[in-house]
């Protein structure tokens, strides 16, 4: 993880410019929403999305990264057939969906329709958990969406200390934020540009060194975003130390998130890293 930047004192001029940018971005977002350019926040059903809100789940990637694009009921993802793990997984989570009652499954599957998908036995005796990218807990609103989170196209080898530690706590926080703000957009995955720690199983599934998660709350006033970068192990300092800007995650991964947003709004959201503000949301 890159060193945290030292705090600097901002001039009054810079503060005014930043405040003006936020106000413009907020006005632009709500204008788009009122005119129907962005799907309504009171959407009751998830399923197959449509419209520009769905486009927020798209990620622009370098051509050098192998990718098979896959859409499921509640998530879309880019799968890397060479590394046998996803490049990224994206989904929208609404407050209503966090209140679903579908029971969790616990059986993992190979998605045989996707070239390069790992087999369940690749993880056996490896010392790594089968770590969800889109968590089963976010898909309790639909049995098929729940089932599809257990496809190994949505799974990466994760150290137990990460999978049951800071990564799990961040998943739980996301549900809190979705209920507070009515809807959030989440994109996460391994940093595939890193050299893998090792390879496991007969399929030779890559074990990532780091994982990222980027989150935007498009219906907050003003809209906001934050990123997280976590090592594949114990996260010292927890979520707060792992917090960073979406801009920094883009620099590390080479991805371009939320590129369908107006440029001024994208810049304002992706430059933020106010963990204290997010952590106080209940």
Task: State residue 181's pLDDT score.
Answer: 87
The percent helix, strand, coil of the chain (3-state, each to 5) is 35, 20, 45
pTM (two decimals) = 0.84
Q: Pick the catalytic residue from 46, 132, 236, 276.
A: 132
* Bridge partners, 189 (sequence order): 212
Task: State residue 277's pLDDT score.
Answer: 86
Q: What is the DSSP string of 34-99?
A: HTTSS--TT----SS--SHHHHTT-EE--TTS--EEEE-SS-EEEEETTTTEEEEEEEEEETTGGG
Task: State residue 53's pLDDT score.
Answer: 67
Per-residue pLDDT of the chain (282 residues), as tens digits, is: 444 333 334 444 443 444 444 444 444 444 444 433 343 333 333 344 445 567 899 999 999 999 999 999 999 999 999 999 999 999 999 999 999 999 999 899 999 999 999 999 999 999 999 999 999 999 999 999 999 999 999 999 999 999 999 999 999 999 999 999 889 999 999 999 999 999 999 999 999 999 999 999 988 888 999 999 999 999 999 999 999 999 999 999 999 999 999 999 999 999 999 998 888 777
Please say if 132 is a catalytic residue.
yes
Task: State residue 47's pLDDT score.
Answer: 42
Neighbours of 114 (CB within 10 A): 18
Q: 70 Cβ partners below 8 Å, 6+ apart? A: 76, 77, 78, 79, 111, 114, 153
Contact 208, 190 (CB under 8 A): yes
Task: State residue 218's pLDDT score.
Answer: 86
Backbone φ and ψ of 226, nearest 5°: -160, 155
Query: To which residue do tokens 């960073």 refer?
Result: 244
Task: State residue 33's pLDDT score.
Answer: 44
Contact 51, 80 (CB under 8 A): no
Task: State residue 54's pLDDT score.
Answer: 78
């Amino acid at each position: 993880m890159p060193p945290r930047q030292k705090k600097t004192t901002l001039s009054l001029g810079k503060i005014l410019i930043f405040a003006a940018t936020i106000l413009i971005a907020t006005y632009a977002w709500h204008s788009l929403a009122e005119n129907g350019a962005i799907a309504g926040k009171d959407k009751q059903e998830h399923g197959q999305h449509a419209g520009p809100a769905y486009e927020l789940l798209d990620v622009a990637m370098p051509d050098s990264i192998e990718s098979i694009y896959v859409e499921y009921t509640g998530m879309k993802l880019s799968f890397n057939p060479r590394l046998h793990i996803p490049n990224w997984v994206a989904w929208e989570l609404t407050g209503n969906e966090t209140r679903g009652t579908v029971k969790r499954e616990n059986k993992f599957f190979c998605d045989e329709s996707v070239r390069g998908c790992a087999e369940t036995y690749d993880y056996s005796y490896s010392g790594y958990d089968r770590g969800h990218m889109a968590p089963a807990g976010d898909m309790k609103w639909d049995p098929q969406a729940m089932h599809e989170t257990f496809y190994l196209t949505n799974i990466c080898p994760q150290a137990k200390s990460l999978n049951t530690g800071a990564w799990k706590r961040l998943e739980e926080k996301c549900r809190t934020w979705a209920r507070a703000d009515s809807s959030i957009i989440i994109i996460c995955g391994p940093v595939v540009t890193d050299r893998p720690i090792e390879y496991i199983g007969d399929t030779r599934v890559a074990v990532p060194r780091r994982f990222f998660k980027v989150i935007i709350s498009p219906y907050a006033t003003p809209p906001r975003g934050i990123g997280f970068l976590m090592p594949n192990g114990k996260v010292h300092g927890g979520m707060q130390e792992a917090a960073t800007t979406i801009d920094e995650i883009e620099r590390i991964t080479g991805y371009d998130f939320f590129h369908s947003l107006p440029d001024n709004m994208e810049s304002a959201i992706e430059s933020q890293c106010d963990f204290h503000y997010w952590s106080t949301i209940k």
